[in-house]
Amino acid sequence: MPKSRIRKKADYTPPPPKQTTAIKLNSRAWVAPVMLAMFLIGLAWIVVFYVTDGSLPIDKLDNWNIVVGFGFIAAGFGVSTQWK
């Protein structure tokens, strides 16, 4: 029986290495403290309002004190969007 021809395979050449780009996360140092401060101020505002039966923090606002507290919390979430 005749021998078949042996085909030469191309040598394996690995793909070129990918160049990685360094990602710099320049987080602003003020974001985390301000965000946490807003959360805590809002929470404290609401807790003080409930504990004092509505006489504190600002008596004239009455039940709008809850809105002010949630406003601080919402502002904290707004500041959190600046965190990288």
Confidence label for 10 from pLDDT (cuts 50, 70 and 90)? confident
Q: Which of the two residues, 83 and 35, has the higher pLDDT score?
A: 35
Closest CA to 77 of 45, 34, 47, 29: 34
For the stretch 61-74, pLDDT in tens is 888 999 999 999 99
CA distance 78 to 71: 10
* Residue 35: strand, helix, or coil: helix
What value does the mean pLDDT of the chain take? 87
E strand segments, 1-84: none
